[in-house]
Amino acid sequence: MSTTSAGDSRDQPERRRPNLPMRPSSFVGRAAEVAKVTDLLGSDDVRLLTMTGPGGIGKSRLAAEVVTSIQSRFANGAAHVPLAPVSDPQLVPSAVARALDVTESAERTVIENLTEYLRDKELLLLLDNFEHVVSAGPTLTQLLATCPRIKILVTSRALLFVRGEQEFEVPPLLVPPLDIARDDRARHSEYESVRLFVERAREVEATFDLSDENAQVIAEICTRLDGLPLAIELAAARIETISAEEILARITNRLDLLTEGPADLPERQRTLRAAIDWDYDLLSEAEQKIFRRLGVFSGGFSIPAAEAVIGTEEYPGAYILDTIESLEAKSLLEAEGNADPVDRYSMLRTLSEYAFDKLASSDETDLIKDRHAAFFTGLAEEAAPHLRQADQVEWLAVLDQEHDNMRVALQWLADKDDAEAELRLAAALAYFWEFRAHLSEGQQRLEEALARGEDAPAPLRAVCLDFAGRLARGQGEFKRARQLTEHSIRLFREIGDTNGLAGALKSLGIIAAERGDLTSARSLYEESLALKEEVGDPRGIAEALNNLGVVWHGEGDLVKAIEHYDRALQYFGEAGDKQAMARILMNLGEAKMEQGLYPAAKGFIRGSLVLCQEVNSHWDIADLLELMASTVGATALAEDAAKLFGAAAALRDLLGAPLPPSEVPAYEERLATVRARMKDEEFETAWKEGRSMEVDEAVAFALSM
């Protein structure tokens, strides 16, 4: 049975593709490095391999090439974990979990969920851009110790300095020696740095080619750039506007900054800053200002976001768009996706850091950060009500895409000690965190903001307390959840917010129900329902009716349970809230099954499954597979039931979402019914077949019942 609350999960294929980022250009050279890293990963003695080198050396691109070539050697494939957007080392396990589609659960920590999922997997993990979260290194050794068949490939500017780590230093691309004849084009072309320059130059100037006249100049460019791929690519991109000789002259003026910067600067600034400085200096004053302002974004930006941050009062929207397109053409921005026209852009991390450094050294840092926070607060507040409406899928996708920017905005508001604004943004994101199961992160951010915002307006604090309690409950922290929720109730009573009070009472009722106290749950739900009826909140009334239905259902009064479910379903159907509809249809399906009305039960279950697929609610899908298994098992289709039970068990293992203790007795009874109708070996065969199904395959099988 399901109460009205939020949650999410994703499916996991048995054999995983690494989901590496698409590369618009070819991979040049590095055959020796690919072979060496491949050999290292093939050794039984190497389980954690860190590819080190300065920014721009090509670690990520080389690692992607290695993973592409070696993934077939791992029974469960490979997974790519991009860490560039992750600013907090404590969030590294969550990033790995997201890449593997392993969600948080109330019963276990993220690490425990990962360990459970990876324990029997033969899998290669690529953790890309680890240098800024290096303190999370011990997490990797913990996973390796408990998951004996996984291997981890890391790209980082520095070693992790953990046990068992092996290092592979990524070298620069080979550059031609000075003794090659100036006009010996053939020998120059043997060197991968020269080939890289030529290929990238052709991407912006199709007629460009290596000639006897320019071979020595290009070789010298590559040599003076120390064979660094990013610097070479940035230089080659300028062929569209200036000659190779002019490029060489500019690099000569910057060489000291490129290779031997001040020793007290980070390594990346002693290797790449000059290359980007040179590129930055080619921009107009307006382009420079817009470029550095774009450095405030994390994980990309939309055109409306860019306009809000750059400022349309200073630059017209059309000018901003033209400048963004110009920056893309100059390799300072990358277009995301395949939309036409392009509606989203991002920067390479090195370029983003450079742009942000330029912003930080300007007199407009606070202004731009304030604009960024204001835009994303507005977006979150606009999205929040849609998460409960017919267009919830579209708005969930928006928040998924902008979550890194939301995190940056929250951190800025915390840094500037604007607790009220921080609480506003956290409150707007709270339901998204609940829906997408960002439980620990959401609770932490809410509680930290509440601690800073003791003087914030009581209505805002009350809302945040309620959501913090809901997120704590989702993690099984019932004591803390009750404390937070009761505090919320006190505040709502003090300020006379009847609607808010009703919602918090419902939250407290769910806590009671999940702890098995149905008497207290009913009392709280009834009080919540009365208040929702008083203020005329149809959605709140429907939620209370559904939850009261769950109480009646738990006490065995199916007639009253169905009556409450039907009344709740009418509202959610009119509102188009697919997740809420799915959960009520599931409850109705279970009630009909328990009444012995199996065709009706299967109809409700199928309807719920379709909706759950649309909103990506795989926690609910696990419940529904078990419910369909119980239903068809009761009608003597034992083999099909065993397959569905097996598929559900595999999904629960994947999600780290075991059955609640209160539901275990009924589950075991239904499973025993199916077992009793089959020989042991027949049951085991069907169970294993179900466990091997992918989620979509299992859903399709259930829908065919």
Give the pLDDT confidence score for residue 686 in this predicted structure.
95
3-state secondary structure of 128: strand
Picking from 231-235, 284-288, 696-700, which range would have the lowest pLDDT averaged per residue? 231-235
Report how far residue 445's alpha carbon sits from residue 449's, in angstroms, rounded to the nearest whole number. Answer: 6
Q: Do the Cβ atoms of 690 and 645 come closer than 8 Å?
A: yes
CA distance 478 to 497: 25
Cα gap 427→446, rounded to integer Å: 8
Using alpha carbons only, give the angle 381, 385, 390 rounded to the nearest 5 degrees.
140
**Residue 627 CA to chain centroid, in angstroms?**
30
pLDDT band at 104 (very low <50, low <70, confident <90, very high): confident
Instruction: Give 236's contacts (C-beta < 8 A, 6+ positions apart).
Output: 196, 197, 198, 200, 201, 203, 204
2, 260, 291, 613, 690 from 656: Cα distances, Å: 18, 50, 43, 19, 18
Q: How confident is the model at residue 1 (pLDDT cuts 50, 70, 90)?
A: low
- pLDDT surpassing 50 at residue 658: yes
pLDDT in the model for residue 312: 85
Supply angle C-alpha 70, 71, 72, rounded to 5.
95
Adjacency order of strands within the sheet including 151-156:
78-82, 124-128, 151-156, 48-52, 165-169
Task: Count other Cβ atoms within 10 Å, centred on residue 224.
Answer: 18
Q: What is the pLDDT of residue 492?
A: 98
303 Cβ contact partners less than 8 Å away, ≥ 6 residues apart = 320, 321, 324, 343, 344
Q: Please, which pLDDT band fits residue 400 given cuts at 50, 70 and 90?
A: very high
Q: How far is CA 453 from CA 132, 393, 426, 441, 570, in A?
A: 29, 32, 12, 18, 40
Domain map of the chain by residue range?
A: 31-169, 185-278, 282-363, 368-599, 609-703
Residue 263 has pLDDT above 70, yes or no: no
In words, the CATH class of domain 282-363 is: mainly alpha
Instruction: Using the predicted structure, report yes or no on whether residue 660 has a pLDDT greater than 80.
Output: no
Identify the DSSP state of 4: S
What element of type H or E holds 669? helix 664-676
Find out whether 283 and 238 touch, Cβ atoms under 8 Å.
no
Residues 6+ apart with CB under 8 A from 237: 200, 201, 203, 204, 330, 331
Average pLDDT (490-500) is 97
Measured distance CA(557)–CA(551) in Å, rounded: 9
Return the structure tokens found at 289: 């200002």
- Given this model, what pLDDT does residue 108 score? 86
Q: Which residues pair with 51 in a beta bridge?
A: 155, 168
- Continuous segment of H or E residues that includes residue 302: strand 301-302
More confident residue, 83 or 281: 83
Q: What 3-state DSSP class applies to 50? A: strand
Contact 464, 426 (CB under 8 A): yes
- Alpha-carbon gap, residue 260 to 544, rounded angstroms: 67
What per-residue confidence (pLDDT) applies to 92?
95
Cα gap 677→664, rounded to integer Å: 20
Of 168-177, 369-378, 540-549, least confident by mean pLDDT is: 168-177
In DSSP terms, which residues pair with 80 in a beta bridge?
A: 126
Name the least confident of 126-130, 180-184, 269-273, 598-602.
269-273
Q: How far apart are CA 615 and CA 585, in angstroms?
A: 15
Spatial contact of 618 and 695, defined as CB atoms under 8 Å apart: yes
Tell which wins on pLDDT, 258 or 62.
62
CATH class as words, domain 31-169: alpha beta
Q: Is 476:107 a contact under the CB 8 Å cutoff? A: yes
The 8-class DSSP code of residue 659 comes to P
Residue 687 reports pLDDT greater than 80: yes
Q: What is the spatial order of strands in the sheet that 301-302 belongs to?
A: 301-302, 344-346, 334-335
Query: Taking all residues of the chain, what is their mean pLDDT, rounded to a whole number?
Result: 88
Q: How far apart are CA 140 and CA 89, in angstroms?
A: 12
Partners of residue 169 on adjacent β-strands:
52
In whole angstroms, what is the distance from residue 148 CA to residue 452 CA? 44
Please give the full DSSP string across 447-496, using - where no structure is assigned: HHHHHHTTTS-HHHHHHHHHHHHHHHHHTT-HHHHHHHHHHHHHHHHHHT
Query: Is the pLDDT confidence value at 341 over 50?
Result: yes
According to DSSP H, which parts of 496-637 are helical?
498-514, 518-535, 538-554, 558-575, 578-594, 598-615, 618-634
CA atoms of 524 and 161, how far apart (whole Å):
53
Q: Are 624 and 644 in contact (CB under 8 A)?
A: no
pLDDT tens digits, 600-632: 999 999 999 999 988 877 778 989 999 999 999
Cα 228 to Cα 55: distance, rounded to the nearest angstrom: 9
Angle at 474 between CA 500 and CA 397, to 5 degrees: 80
pLDDT for residue 24: 62
Q: Phi/psi at 454 (nearest 5 deg)?
A: -65, -25
Residue type, 438: H
Instruction: Determine which of 269-278, 288-297, 329-338 has the lowest per-residue pLDDT on average.
Output: 269-278
Helix (H, G, I), strand (E, B) or coil at 348: coil
In the predicted model, is pLDDT for residue 465 greater than 70? yes
| pLDDT tens-digit readout, 137-151 | 999 999 999 999 999
CATH of 368-599, picked from 1.25.40.10, 3.40.50.620, 3.40.50.970, 1.20.950.20, is: 1.25.40.10
Q: Identify the three-state secondary structure at position 411.
A: helix
Number of H helices, E strands in the chain: 33, 8
Rounded distance between C-alpha atoms, residue 330 and residue 596, angstroms = 68
Q: How far apart are CA 583 and CA 609, in angstroms?
A: 10
Burial track 617-656 (b if 16+ CB lie within 10 A, e otherwise): bbbbbbbbbbbbbbbbbbbebbbbbbbbbbbbbbbbbbbb
Binning pLDDT at 50, 70 and 90, where does residue 193 land? very high
d(CA 93, CA 111): 6
Beta bridge partners of 346: 334
Question: Between 625 and 182, whose confidence is greater?
Answer: 625
Q: What are 167's strand-pairing partners? A: 50
Strand pairing class (301-302; 344-346): antiparallel
Query: d(Cα 647, Cα 540) in Å, to the nearest integer?
Result: 34
Task: Read off the amino acid at residue 408.
Answer: V
> Within a 10 A sphere around the Cβ of 363, how many other Cβ atoms?
6
For 340, counting Cβ atoms within 10 Å of its Cβ (0-12 exposed, 13-18 middle, 19+ buried), the class is exposed
Determine the pLDDT at residue 34: 95
Question: 3-state SS of the chain: helix, strand, coil percent to 5?
Answer: 65, 5, 30
Q: Helix or strand or coil: residue 174?
A: coil
pTM above 0.75, yes or no: no
Q: Cα(first)–Cα(last) distance of the chain, in Å?
A: 21
Q: Which residue has the tokens 């407009």?
A: 364
